[in-house]
Each structure stands twice: as structure tokens, then as C-alpha cells.
């Protein structure tokens, strides 16, 4: 057993505050079963309420405060009627991402039992892959500008910035992840036939990195045909790595192929462990259903499993995912599934059922 691990809990806004208690409930159950020492500390910043009281999303010393933690467990941020989206996002999550150098965005795309895939005929087991997105550079640079603005001669340009350090480190993460999985298969997405400088260079870095991982089978796709294959042949993928823009697109398309947004988890990782990594559901604060106790807590709970894995508790992480699967597999007649997945259960009932399943499996 490792020593005590400290987790910063930031529930945020809307349904974030409803699904977070269920995430913590299941993590506490996992800690009981596996004898882990996890300490949870709650923070009220990164929320609309905090912004209304303080005029800012975060306290000035957020960096020092959160640096002391082993991981950040995050709910959802944003409430457009109360805080403009660019303020809530740029003032919280994106500060964490930059400040803590969370250069990996990781999203599992796994079809769970009882969750209908929009792809006809797909069963659990058919779709089970990861999207690894480069999270700090690439196409999302602010380098560029508008010339002759406001005239008929207007010309707009915006640069892509890729560095050897930045690309090699994301490729290493993706290869290492692929190397740990049974299929040992990595797919890299670029567009080298259209974007003629950065993308062929990325391709060459991929081949170079591949020499360090001889056991991993490497495929290189163009992004257009890759997106078609996500939909037509999702069973062909194991780990998929891409630049910031392409990864952004794939990391929405992938979870969409596996059903409802309420179950999808994600992680923003600093692999060097110099800074805390952040674990959050893919969904947002969903003001339309907030306050009704019907939000699906599975995305939050599954993100907690990813956090356990990152903290070195692979068995506990696998047990949480199995408990989610077992509860889903029983269907809406025997499990309190939330309305988005065809049941009449509440957020708290579904969270409790998963925690109970986890305890019973011990």
C-alpha cells in the first residue's frame, strides 16, 4: 500500500455539484475495499457562485494551493447566464491545464452494457479504445492576425506551432499506453497530404518514436478517413494519438460512438507527476437539468477510476469500472438507472448502487 494521497475536490457548477458526491462516495468505497488512504479536500472555487462573490474564478494562490495535491477531481464548470463561457473556462480549467502542464488529454471510448451505441449492431467489446490528444500546442496557437482588416483585401492567418519536445512527449505517452494494453496497437492521425509541413514532420516523429516501442504495431491514417473508420470500424482501434485540433475532434467523436454523454470520462494528465493531473467527466454543467437530481453520475465515477489508476491503484480502478458495468448490465428494471439511459433512478440512487456493487464484489 502507498501512503496517504491527497485529492482536491472541485465540484464546480450545475450538475457538477450533483454528480461529484457520487464520485466521492464510490472512491471512498474503493478505498475501503482496497485499503487505500485517500484524503478528500473540497474547494468552492471554479464556480459561478465563487465568481459572483469574488469577481474571479480562482483565488490568487490557486497554484500553490492545488500544487500540494496528488490529483484534482473536477466536476463541471460554466453557467452562461451568470458567467460568460470564456471567463469560466479560461479562468479555471485552462489555467489548470497550462499551469500544471497537463499536456495529455485522455479519453476512453468503451461501449458499456445496456448503453445503446448510435452505431447499429455494435456490442460491448466491439468498441474499446483510447483517444490521446496533445493538449498544449499545435493548431491552437494564438500566432497570427488579420491584415487589411475591414477592407476587401482582408487576409487572415493563424499558425500551427509544434515543438519536438511537445510532440515527442505526447507520442511517448501514447506508445507507453499502447504497450501496456493487450492489443499493443497505436494509430496516429495526421493530414500529411494536405498540410505539407507540420503533418509530415509529425509522421516522421511517430516513426522515430516507434523504433523505441518495437512491440507496438503502428498505423498512420489521414484524419478524414480516420473519422470515417471511427464510425464504420471502431473495432480497429486500440490507442489513437493526434494533435490538439484533430485530437479535439476525435475525442468528441469517439465517446459519441459509445452512447450517452453522461457516462464518458476524461483525464488531463501531467505524466511527469511534477504537478497534479485532473480528472473530469466529458459532459458540462448542463444547466437545463441541474437541480433535479437526475444527472447521470457515471461519467464522474468513471473519471474517478481513471484517477485511481493514475495514482497507482490499478486493481481498484478496474473494480470501479467493473462495478459500473455490472450495474448497467442489470438494466433499468433491476438497477436505478437515470432517465438519460432509460431508467427512472436518481443521481444518488445510481451512485449508491455502484458503490454497493463495488463493496459486494470484494
Using CB under 6 A as the criterion, which residues of the chain lie in contact with ligand ATP when the complex forms?
15, 78, 261-262, 283-289, 295-296, 299, 340
Shortest Cβ distance from residue 302 to ligand ATP (Å)? 11
Q: Which is the catalytic residue, given 32, 44, 85, 224?
A: 224
Buried b / exposed e across 299-316, counting CB within 10 Å, b at 16+? bbbbbbbbbbbbbebeeb
Phi and psi torsions of 342, nearest 5°: 90, 15
Which one of the listed residues 70, 128, 248, 340 is annotated catalytic? 248
Instruction: Mark whether 81 is an active-site residue.
Output: no
Q: In the complex, what is the shortest distance from the CB of residue 182 to ligand ATP, in angstroms, rounded to a whole number?
A: 30
Residue 104 contacts residue 279 (beta carbons within 8 Å): no
- Per the residue annotation, which of 191, 221, 238, 340 is the catalytic one? 191
Smaller CB distance to ligand ATP: residue 289 or 311?
Answer: 289
Q: H or E segment at 74?
A: strand 71-76
Q: Catalytic annotation on 191?
A: yes
What are the Cα distances from residue 129, in Å, to 2, 34, 119, 229, 262? 29, 26, 15, 13, 18
Least distance from ligand ATP to the Cβ atom of residue 206, Å? 31
Rank residues 8 and 76 by Cβ distance to ligand ATP and give the closer one. Answer: 76
Q: Report how far Cα 210 is from the mean position of its chain's Cα atoms.
A: 25
Asked about 252 being catalytic, the answer comes back as: yes
- Nearest residue (beta carbon) to ligand ATP: 284
What number of other Cβ atoms are within 10 A of residue 322's Cβ? 14
Give min distance, CB of 321 to ligand ATP, in A.
17
Closest CB to ligand ATP among residues 241, 267: 267
Q: Which is nearer to ligand ATP, 100 or 302 (CB)?
A: 302
To the nearest 10°, the Cα dihedral for 155, 86, 41, 301?
Answer: -80
Active-site residue numbers?
Answer: 140, 191, 224, 248, 252
Amino acid at each position: 500500500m502507498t501512503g496517504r494521497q491527497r485529492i482536491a475536490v472541485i465540484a464546480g457548477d450545475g450538475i457538477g455539484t450533483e454528480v461529484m458526491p457520487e464520485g466521492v462516495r464510490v472512491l471512498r468505497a474503493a478505498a475501503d475495499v482496497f485499503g487505500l488512504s485517500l484524503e478528500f479536500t473540497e474547494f468552492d472555487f471554479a464556480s459561478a457562485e465563487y465568481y459572483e462573490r469574488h469577481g474571479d474564478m480562482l483565488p490568487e494562490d490557486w497554484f500553490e494551493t492545488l500544487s500540494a495535491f496528488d490529483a484534482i477531481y473536477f466536476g463541471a464548470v460554466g453557467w452562461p447566464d451568470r458567467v460568460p463561457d470564456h471567463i469560466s473556462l479560461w479562468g479555471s480549467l485552462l489555467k489548470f491545464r497550462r499551469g500544471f502542464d497537463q499536456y495529455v488529454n485522455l479519453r476512453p471510448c468503451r461501449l458499456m452494457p445496456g448503453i445503446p451505441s448510435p452505431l447499429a449492431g455494435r456490442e460491448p467489446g466491439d468498441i474499446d479504445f483510447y483517444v490521446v490528444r496533445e493538449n498544449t500546442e499545435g493548431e491552437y496557437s494564438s500566432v497570427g492576425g488579420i491584415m487589411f482588416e475591414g477592407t476587401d483585401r482582408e487576409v487572415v492567418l493563424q499558425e500551427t506551432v509544434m515543438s519536438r519536445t511537445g510532440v515527442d512527449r505526447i507520442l511517448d505517452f501514447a506508445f507507453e499506453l499502447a504497450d501496456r494494453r493487450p492489443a499493443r496497437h497505436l494509430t496516429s492521425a495526421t493530414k500529411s497530404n494536405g498540410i505539407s509541413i507540420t503533418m509530415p514532420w509529425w509522421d516522421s516523429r511517430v516513426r522515430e518514436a516507434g523504433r523505441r516501442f518495437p512491440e507496438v504495431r503502428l498505423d498512420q491514417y489521414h484524419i478524414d478517413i480516420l473519422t470515417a473508420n471511427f464510425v464504420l470500424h471502431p473495432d480497429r482501434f486500440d490507442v489513437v494519438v493526434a494533435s490538439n485540433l484533430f485530437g479535439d475532434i476525435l475525442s468528441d467523436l469517439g465517446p459519441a460512438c459509445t452512447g450517452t454523454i453522461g457516462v464518458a470520462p476524461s483525464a488531463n494528465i501531467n505524466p511527469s507527476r511534477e504537478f497534479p493531473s485532473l480528472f473530469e467527466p466529458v459532459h458540462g454543467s448542463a444547466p437545463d437539468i441541474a437541480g433535479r437530481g437526475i444527472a447521470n453520475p457515471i461519467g464522474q465515477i468513471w473519471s474517478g477510476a481513471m484517477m485511481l489508476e493514475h495514482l497507482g491503484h490499478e486493481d481498484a480502478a478496474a473494480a470501479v469500472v467493473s462495478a459500473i458495468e455490472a450495474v448497467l448490465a442489470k438494466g433499468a428494471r433491476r438497477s436505478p438507472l437515470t432517465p438519460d439511459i432509460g431508467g427512472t433512478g436518481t443521481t444518488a440512487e445510481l451512485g449508491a448502487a455502484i458503490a454497493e456493487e463495488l463493496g459486494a464484489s470484494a
